[in-house]
Amino acid sequence: MQFYSTRNPALRVSLREAVMSGLAADGGLYLPISLPAVPQSTIQRLAHFTPPEVAQLILRPFIGDELPDTVLQRISNEAFDFPVPLVKLTDNIGVLELWHGPTLAFKDVGARFMARLMGYFAEQFQQTLTVLVATSGDTGSAVAHGFYRVPGIRVVILYPRGRVSHVQEQQLTTLGDNVSALSVAGSFDDCQALVKQAFVDADLKQRVQLTSANSINVARLLPQMLYYWLAYQQAAAVGQPIIFSVPSGNFGNLTAGLMAKRMGLPVDQFIAATNSNDVVPNYLRTGTFVPRPSLTTISNAMDVGNPSNFVRLLDLYQHEVSAMRQDVVGFHTTDDETRQVIAQVYHDQQYLFDPHGAVGYHALQQYRATKPTPHYGIVLATAHPAKFAEVIEPIIHESVALPERLAQCLHLPNQASPLDNDFAQLKEYLLTK
Ligand SMILES: *Cc1c(COP(=O)(O)O)cnc(C)c1O
C-alpha cells in the first residue's frame, strides 16, 4: 500500500520509503491511502487467532508485496511476544494492560515492530543504519530495547548525565551489543540539539546512514492497532457496546484505535483522556484547536501541548469537528483527581493504576456521568505502576515492587561512554565507533 503526506495527498510513497524517512519531505505525516475493511467472517472468528496471527491479519494489507509472508510472520512473532490481558475491574469495566513488554510501557508495541521492519529494509538494501536518539528517559529505553540485537542496525542513545532516574539509566546503559549509550554532560535539550545537528551535517550524512526512529513513524502507528483488536477478542463475549478510554499525549495511541474502527472493529465510542494538557478535549468542545506550551503533571508521558498526531486525526475526519465528535469525546483530569482515583481503585478493587491509566479511568467515569446507556468500558493501562513509584507510593502508603524483568538490569554494569556537550566529539564517535 502507498502512504500519503498529510500536507499533500498527491505526495505518495511506498511503505519502505515512509518507514525509512519517518517524516514526509514536505514536513507532513504519513497515513495509508486506505483502511481496508476486515471481513465480518474474520471478525467473528477472531477468538481463534494468537496475537501474532491477529497482527498479520490486520497489517497484511499495508505491507502489500514489500515483505514476504514469512518475514511478516517472523517480525510479528518476535515483536508481539508478550501478553495484552484484559483484566476485569468490575462487571462493566476492563483494564487492557499494555505494559507487559520489556520496558513496562505501551511504547514497546510500536517500537519492537518498527525496529524489526527497519532492520529488514536495511538488510534488504545492505545498509547499516544508525538510529540516533536523544532521550529524557522513557522513549529511549523502548526504542533501545526494540532495536536490541536487530541485525543491520546500531543504536546510539544520548541522555543527560545525572538527570534521568537510576532505573531509567540502567535500562539504557546495560544492554550493550548493538546499543550504545552516551552520557552527555548537559541537559536533555543539549542532547536533542546534538542529535539535530547530526541530522543536518552534510558530511556525516554522506558517511553514516542516520535515522531518527521517532514516534511519528508509521511503523509505530500501524502496529498499535493490534491491541484494540486483542481487546475486542477478549471482550466480545460480554455482548455490550464497547467504549475505549485512551490516555493521550501525542495521540498516536488514539489515532491507531480510530484507524482500527475504520477497518471494522466494533467500537461504539473512544474517549480522548488527557491530563491538564487538554488541547484536544478543548478542540472537541469548541471546534478550535489552540496549541499551548505543555504543563508539567504526574502523568508526564502525556505532558504535550501541541500533539504531533493531531494532523492525522484531522485528516481522518476531513477536518470536520462534527465528524470527529461522532467517534471521540474528550475529558481531562487534574493531578488531584488522578491521585484520588489511584487511591480509590486500589482501596475498592485492589487494582493499582499508574498515573496514566488512572487518567483513562477517570475519563471513563466522567463519560458515564453524562451518558448512562449500558456499555462495556475498556481503560488502556499504558505503563506499569512501578515505573512511577515515586508518585504512587505516597498515595497508597506502600512500596511498589519492580517486576523481575526490570529489576534484573539494576545489577548489570553501566556501559555508557561519557560525552562532552560538543558536536565534534559526537561526530567523531559516530564515524569511528
Ligand atoms: C507515550 C505515553 C502515553 C501517550 O501516548 P500517545 O500515543 O503519545 O498519546 C500514555 N502513557 C504512557 C505511559 C506513555 O508512555
pLDDT tens for residues 77-130?
999 999 999 999 999 999 999 999 999 989 999 999 999 999 999 988 887 899
- Indicate if the pLDDT at residue 244 is higher than 80: yes
Percent of the chain residues past pLDDT 70, beyond the cut: 100
Given the residues 88, 107, 261, 387, the one annotated as active site? 107
Mean pLDDT of the region 156-161: 94
pTM: 0.93
Nearest protein CA to atom 15 of ligand 1, as residue = 301
- Which pLDDT band, with edges at 50, 70 and 90, does 216 fall under? confident
pLDDT the model gives residue 312: 97
Identity of the amino acid at 396 = I
Asked if pLDDT for residue 200 goes beyond 80, the answer is yes
Q: How far is the CA of 133 from the centre of ligand 1 (A)?
A: 18
Q: Which of 29, 245, 246, 302 to mutate to test the pocket of ligand 1 (most atoms within 8 A of CB)?
A: 302
Looking only at the bridges linking them, the beta strands covering 8-13 and 328-332 are unpaired
Distance of CA 22 from the midpoint of ligand 1 (Å):
19
- Kindly give, in sequence order, each residue whose CB lies less than 8 Å from that of residue 41, ignoring residues fewer than 6 positions away: none
- The three three-digit cell numbers of residue 133, written as one number: 536518539
Give the strands of the sheet with 3-5, arranged side by side: 8-13, 3-5, 30-32
Compute the average pLDDT of residues 363-391. Answer: 93
- Residues paired with residue 332 on neighbouring β-strands, in sequence order: 274
Check whether 313 has a pLDDT greater than 90: yes
Residues 250-298 have pLDDT tens digits of 999 999 999 999 999 999 999 999 999 999 999 999 999 999 988 989 9
Q: Rounded distance, CA 219 to CA 367, Å?
A: 32
pLDDT band, residue 188 (cuts 50/70/90): confident
Ligand 1 close to Cβ of residue 252 (< 6 A):
yes
C-beta neighbour count of 81 within 10 angstroms:
13
* d(CA 266, ligand 1 centre) in Å: 23
**196 has catalytic annotation:** no
Sheet with 86-90: list strands edge to edge.
Answer: 86-90, 93-97, 376-381, 242-247, 269-274, 328-332
Strands 209-211, 179-184: pairing is unpaired
CA 176 – CA 229 distance, rounded (Å): 35
Structure confidence at residue 97 (pLDDT) = 98
Q: How many residues does the chain have?
A: 433
Residues 6+ apart with CB under 8 A from 303: 249, 275, 277, 294, 295, 296, 297
